[in-house]
Chains A and B, each alone.
Chain A
Amino acid sequence: MQDFPSAFSAAFALIFSGDPEFLGIVGLSLSVTLSAVALACLIGMPLGAALAVARFPGRGALVVIVNALMGLPPVVVGLVVYLTLSRSGPLGALGLLYTPAAMIVAQTILVTPIVAALTRQAVADLNAEYDEYLRSLGASRIDTVGTLLWDARFSLVTAALAGFGRASAEVGAVMIVGGNIAHVTRVMTTAIALETSRGRLALALGLGIVLLAISLAVNAAVMAVRTRAQAVGHA
C-alpha cells in the first residue's frame, strides 16, 4: 500500500512515460467508446427525429420508454448482453463474448436511448417552430427531417457528447461482457477496479486521472459548442 502523494507522483510518471500497457488500455477504451457512440448516433438520431416528427399510435408510450431507458443500469445491460452472447444464448454462435465487439454492443445499448431522447427533445422543440413554415413550402417528409436535424446540429453534438460521457465512465457492462482480459478487453474503468483491488494504485490513479481529463475535455467541448451556437444566433 502506497501513500497518497507517492501514488500521485507515480501516476503522473506513468501517464507521461509512454508505457505500452497503459497506452493500450487508454486506446482500447477510446476505440470501444467512440465506436459505441458512433453506432448509437446512427441509430438514436434518426429514431429520436422520427419520434419527434411522426404521429402514430403508441408514440407517447414509446417516448416515455426511451426517456426511461436513459437511466438503464449498466450492469443490467451487461447481464442481458452476456446472456444473449453466451454460448447457450441466442447469439452465442457468433462467439463475441469477451471481445471488444461485445463491449461495443453493450455500450451502444446503453448510449442509444440517451442520444435518442436528447435528439427527440431538440427536434421536437425545433419542429414546433418550423412546422408551419415547412408545410407552407410543401416540404417532403425527408426534407423536413433533414432540415430539423441540420438546424438542431448543435444540440445533436451535445447529445453525442453526453452519450460519450456516459459510456466512457461506465464499468458494469464492459466488465461483464468484456471480462477485463489484459490486452484484449481491459479498458480504463475495469482496469481501475482491478488494480485498486490489487493495490497497484499508481496505475489505477493514472487511469483515473486520464478519465477525469477526458470528462473535463468533453464538458469543455459541450461548453464550446453552446458558445458557438449562441454566436451564430442559434439559441
Chain B
Amino acid sequence: MLEFAQPDLWPLTLDRVSLARGGRALLDAVSLTLTPGGVTALIGPNGAGKSLTLRLIAGLIAPDAGSVRWGARAAPAKGAVALVFQRPVLLRRSVAANLDHALSVAGVARRMRPARRAALLALGGLETLADRPARALSGGEAQRLALARALAAQPRLLLLDEPAASLDPAATAAIEALIARVAAQGTTVLLVSHDVGQARRLAGRVVFLHAGRVVEDAPADRALNHPQSPEARAYLAGRLLF
C-alpha cells in the first residue's frame, strides 16, 4: 500500500507504556512497533493486558507513563484505526442501518452509501440479513457484522479483540476467512487472542504478553515453535501462568 502517502499512522509505536488501576500495574513498560501489512497476533493468558493494549492503540485510553504515537501524530486520525470489541456493540437498528450509521459517521456521502453498504454486506456474508434487527443476530453473525462495520471507514489498521471468542468452529472459520481476506486486501490487522491455534492460522507475527509485559515478539513460526521466554514456553505447553 502507499505508505509514503500515509505518514499519519505508521510506524505506530508504544514506547514503554505503563498503566495502573487501583495501585495494580496492568501494563508495565510495554514497547511495541507496528508497521503496515500483515496480521499480528497479541496472545497471552487472560488478564495479561491484551485488551488494554488494543484500547491504547485505538486511542480510547491514555497511558499513565510512556507514550503512544501514530506516526507523527499524538492521536489517531479519524477512521484510520478501527476496533472490534470482544462483545460487539451493535446498535438497536437493522443490520443495514448499523452499516449506514458507521458510513455516515465516517463521512461517506449519502449517495455513496448504498453501494458501500452492499459491498460490506457482501464482505460479511450478510446479504440475506440486511433487514434483520442487529440485536437478534446469532453470535457468529453479530461478529461478522461488527467486522464488516469496522471496515466502513476503510481503516488502515484493524484491531480485533478475541474475534472468535465463544463461537462454534464453523462460525470461527467464517470469521477467520474474513480476517484473512481483509488482511490480503491490504488492511493491517492486530488480533488479540488467547487461542494459540488461531494465532498459528492467521498471524505472521506474534507478540506474547504476560502480566502486563511483552515477553516475546517474533515472527509467528519462531514465537510459536521456538519461544525464548519461559513464560511463552509455559503458556504454549498449556501450563497455567499466574
| Residue A133 lies at the interface, judged by CB distance under 8 Å to chain B | yes
Is B91 a contact of A130 with CB atoms below 8 Å? yes
Is B92 a contact of A137 with CB atoms below 8 Å? no
Given contacts A138-B105, A233-B135, A233-B136, contact A129 B89 (CB under 8 A): yes
| Residue B79 lies at the interface, judged by CB distance under 8 Å to chain A | yes
| Residue B101 lies at the interface, judged by CB distance under 8 Å to chain A | yes
Size category of the binding interface on chain A: 10 to 19
The interface residues of chain B, by DSSP majority, are classed as mixed
Query: With contacts defined as CB atoms under 8 Å apart, how many contacts are there between chain A and chain B in the complex?
Result: 46
Whole-angstrom CA separation of A134 from B98 in the bound complex: 12
Q: Which of B82, B83, B93 contacts A151 (CB 8 A)?
A: B93
Q: Which of A129, A139, A232, A234 contacts B105 (CB 8 A)?
A: A139
| Chain B residues positioned under 8 Å from A151 (CB to CB) | 91-93
| Residue B203 lies at the interface, judged by CB distance under 8 Å to chain A | no
Is B60 a contact of A234 with CB atoms below 8 Å? no
| Residue A197 lies at the interface, judged by CB distance under 8 Å to chain B | no
| Residue A147 lies at the interface, judged by CB distance under 8 Å to chain B | yes
Chain B 88-101, CB-CB to A under 8 Å as 1, else 0, gives 01011100000001
| Residue A200 lies at the interface, judged by CB distance under 8 Å to chain B | no
Whole-angstrom CA separation of A139 from B79 in the bound complex: 10
Given contacts A136-B58, A137-B102, contact A232 B133 (CB under 8 A): yes
Report which A residues bind B (CB closer than 8 A): 129-130, 132-140, 143, 147, 150-151, 232-234
Beyond known contacts A132-B89, A233-B134: 11 more, CB 8 A cutoff: A129-B89, A135-B60, A136-B81, A137-B79, A137-B153, A138-B78, A138-B79, A150-B93, A151-B93, A232-B92, A234-B133
